Amino acid sequence: MAVPLRILLILTLIPGIHSIKTVRQVSVKAGAPVTIPCLYEAKYRDNVKYLCKGYTWASCSYEIKTNTPQNSQIYSISDDKTQTIFTVTIKELADKNTYYWCIVEIDGGGDVGERFYLSGTTGPPSLYVDNQTVIGFIGENITINCHYTISGAMKWCKLNSNCVTGTSGSIDGTRITLNTSMKNVFSVTLSGLSPESSGWYYCVKGNFQMPVHLTVTEKPTGTVQTSTNNESDTTAVDEQRSSVDINSLIIPLSLLILVVIVALFVWFILKCKQAKADSPSSKSTEEAVTYSDVTFKTKKPAQTVETDVDVTYSSVTTAKQQSLRRSEAKDMDVTYAAMIHHKRNAEPSV
């Protein structure tokens, strides 16, 4: 049930009348999605929640409700009844500047709601974060970077809690440190995370706010790297680790290649030596001529006189045969060669 604007304005002047809490002004790049948290009182846990679009409550149009099928291509809505927060997501900002309302429907009475403003930009938003959803681990730290292109005071706040305006402070027992050393960025570090650290936070710079949801859980077994919200930082760390891994492999790979080359060279040398040892020419050299026997005999008288001495027999003994002979005649150390020379009988004179 809608309430006229003039009545709404009167109600806003009454302390404690605000039943919905949300951010007021968010800068969004045109075409990019954004999620807005809407905190409500516990007594409205089972009520219907919805998103309304328009400058005034009286004239705003229903965009999406929690009790209707969510078939919208532009909007989505979800209700966390445990945390008493419902969130609306504008998947793509159609208009350049748009007003919306987070509203809780009251049966038989006036609905309650709170307005927020989306400022669309074609370039970098006035205030933005790398990721609206981050995960941290109990007992560890997490850093969130808030980027800005405008001037103004900076804060770090928790929805329905206090804000840290200086360089350090505490929210719900979690230590908060703000760092402004980087240009156009102030980083927020949450130290000593606990389950109570979970919830919706938002950066503040000037008139703009940017919501961020933090979930703190137990660290999974075997997890080495602490989760961070900064995707660019994670990418840089991954690239650096890859570079270190490659550099650490260069020396072992070089040594392995050198060992393989030396092994191939030694194998080649041994192969050549083996080939020479197995060749037929090397085997034939073992059978060399080492001894020879020559016998001279005188020709018979009836034969024609040719010469006084003729060589008639020659025998060649190989080293293997000689070795056999030596084994048969163990007591003989010297082999003799005999030559017999005979003169032919002189023919009788006439």
- What is the DSSP secondary-structure string of 266-285? HHHHHHHHHHHHTSHHHHHT
Pair (171, 202) in one structural domain: yes
Pair (116, 142) in one structural domain: no
Question: CA 185, CA 201: separation in Å to the nearest integer?
Answer: 17
* Amino acid 18: pLDDT: 63
Which residue, among 55, 68, 54, 47, has the nearest Cα to 110 in the 3D structure?
47
Is 68 part of a structural domain of the chain?
Answer: yes
Which residue, among 41, 18, 107, 51, has the nearest Cα to 8 in the 3D structure?
18
Is 343 part of a structural domain of the chain?
Answer: no
Pair (218, 188) in one structural domain: yes
Is 280 part of a structural domain of the chain?
Answer: no
Choosing from 60, 90, 121, the residue where a domain stops is 121
Beta strands in 180-226 (DSSP E): 185-191, 199-205, 208-217
* Amino acid 194: pLDDT: 95
* Amino acid 327: pLDDT: 46
| pLDDT, tens digit, 9 for 90 and up, residues 157-171 | 999 899 999 899 999
Pair (46, 94) in one structural domain: yes
Is 101 part of a structural domain of the chain?
Answer: yes
CA distances from 60 to 63, 88, 98 (A): 9, 16, 11
Pair (67, 147) in one structural domain: no
Pair (116, 131) in one structural domain: no
Is 342 part of a structural domain of the chain?
Answer: no
Q: Pairing state of beta strands 112-121 and 25-29? A: parallel
Tokens of 300: 């018979």
Choosing from 235, 252, 278, the residue where a domain stops is 235
Is 348 part of a structural domain of the chain?
Answer: no
Q: Which domain holds residue 302?
A: 289-328
Q: pTM score, two decimals?
A: 0.60
Question: CA 5, CA 99: separation in Å to the nearest integer?
Answer: 14
Asked if 194 and 115 count as a contact pair (C-beta separation under 8 A), the reply is: no
The SS3 call for residue 261 is helix
Q: For residue 192, is it left (φ>0), alpha (ψ between -120 and 50) or beta?
A: left
User: What's the N-to-C CA distance of the chain in angstroms?
Assistant: 177
Choosing from 63, 90, 121, the residue where a domain stops is 121
The SS3 call for residue 216 is strand
Tokens of 329: 């005649």
* Amino acid 192: pLDDT: 95
Pair (62, 99) in one structural domain: yes
Pair (115, 147) in one structural domain: no
Residues lower than pLDDT 70 in the chain: 1-18, 94-95, 222-248, 278-350
Tokens of 327: 């084994």
* Amino acid 342: pLDDT: 43
Pair (26, 85) in one structural domain: yes
Pair (17, 112) in one structural domain: yes
| pLDDT, tens digit, 9 for 90 and up, residues 210-231 | 999 999 999 988 655 544 444 4
Residue 237 CB: number of other CB atoms within 10 A?
13
Write the CATH number for 75. 2.60.40.10
* Amino acid 350: pLDDT: 38
Number of domains in the chain: 3
CA distances from 186 to 24, 97, 144, 182, 216 (A): 20, 26, 9, 7, 22
Asked if 21 and 65 count as a contact pair (C-beta separation under 8 A), the reply is: no
* Amino acid 5: pLDDT: 41
Is 229 part of a structural domain of the chain?
Answer: yes
Question: CA 25, CA 151: separation in Å to the nearest integer?
Answer: 15
Pair (110, 167) in one structural domain: no
Question: CA 167, CA 9: separation in Å to the nearest integer?
Answer: 36
Is 99 part of a structural domain of the chain?
Answer: yes
Question: CA 174, CA 172: separation in Å to the nearest integer?
Answer: 6
Pair (139, 228) in one structural domain: yes
